[in-house]
Homo-oligomer: A and B are copies of this chain.
Amino acid sequence: MQLFWSQGFRGTSVQDLVDGCRVQRYGIYQSFGSKEKLFLAALDRYQETVVRRMVAPLLRPGSGLPSIRRVLDALARLGEGEGEGDEGRGGAGAKGCLVCNTAGELGRESSPISRQTSRYLQTLREAWSAALEGARRDGDLRAGTDVSTAAEHLTGVTVALCILARMSGGEGIMRSLVTQTLRGVSATGE
């Protein structure tokens, strides 16, 4: 998963996997059948660990505006680990998000991949939605805000932050995006 995350699907050879993990060439095919199936398993694992952990604060019972702020700040820090250079192996600076990177690299090439990206978007939408409901309950939500539209908005912003993290010159934009987004959502406009 880590290798695919930083180098992409096509940029990661089976040899890379053999060298990088403690894994046997033939064992990959016994366990997964093909490089593509392994990649899909890595996508699965990514969503069940990394994405899950990222949105966890939004899904906790008492979540609300403070959780939203916290998660957005964490996303804004995705761009760190800069310097255009590699870290040990062929890492391309910041890794961003595996699912978003895959969208850029492969688009909707196969239907398993399509399924993964729409699952990803749905997870994000639901998580943001839960926290927005909390914010409304706390009176922290800007008047007249539709929760589900705002959740889609935040989902879009999340995707933007993931890709901007992979682009040099994106740091300032990430910060502006976060502050402006928070301003649009919160009751106080802060």
Contacts and interface: CB of A to CB of B under 8 A. Distances in A.
A152 B167 contact: no
Contacts of A170: 117-118, 121
B121 A92 contact: no
Chain A: number of interface residues, binned into ranges? 35 or more
A169 B169 CA distance: 28
A173 B160 contact: no
Interface in A162-190: 162-164, 166-170, 172-174, 176-177, 179-181, 183-184
A156 B176 contact: yes
12 contacts: A93-B108, A103-B167, A117-B169, A117-B170, A121-B173, A152-B177, A153-B177, A155-B173, A156-B157, A156-B164, A157-B157, A159-B160
Interface of A: 6, 8, 10-11, 84, 92-96, 100-109, 111, 114-115, 117-118, 120-122, 125, 149-150, 152-153, 155-157, 159-164, 166-170, 172-174, 176-177, 179-181, 183-184
